């Protein structure tokens, strides 16, 4: 993430959400903002999740939503997004 924002308030955000195919939210994976650290560097994020009722035949969708205000440019970069299903 890179930002030109001068405020200490989180005014630009990137949210990640995992949903079922019908749109029901399984979990909020997290939010980063213009105030997140570290800045101007790549950060590896990993989530290990377990859900009851979700199996190999369940369709899930990963959603990213970026929002920003009109001042100070903030860039969010995503690379190498992947899923791995592990059976118990």
pLDDT at residue 87, as a whole number: 64
Counting Cβ atoms within 10 Å, is residue 35 exposed (0-12), middle (13-18) or buried (19+)?
Answer: middle
DSSP 57: T
The ranges assigned to domains in the chain are 2-75
pTM of the complete model: 0.79
Token pair of 11 as six digits = 């005014």
Give the SS3 label for residue 39: coil
Whether 80 has a pLDDT exceeding 90, the answer reads: no
Residue 7 half-sphere exposure toward CB, CA atoms < 13 A = 13
Each residue's pLDDT tens digit, 63-77: 999 999 988 889 988
- Looking up tokens 């990137």 gives 14
Each residue's pLDDT tens digit, 11-64: 999 999 999 989 999 999 989 999 988 888 888 888 778 777 777 788 889 999
Token pair of 7 as six digits = 């405020």
């Amino acid at each position: 993430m890179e930002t030109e924002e001068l405020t200490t308030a989180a005014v630009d955000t990137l949210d990640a959400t995992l949903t079922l195919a019908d749109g029901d939210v399984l979990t909020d994976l997290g939010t980063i903002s213009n105030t997140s650290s570290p800045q101007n560097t790549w950060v590896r994020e990993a989530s290990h999740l377990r859900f009851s009722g979700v199996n190999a035949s369940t369709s899930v969708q990963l959603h990213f939503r970026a929002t920003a205000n009109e001042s100070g440019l903030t860039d969010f970069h995503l690379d190498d997004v992947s899923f791995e299903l592990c059976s118990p």
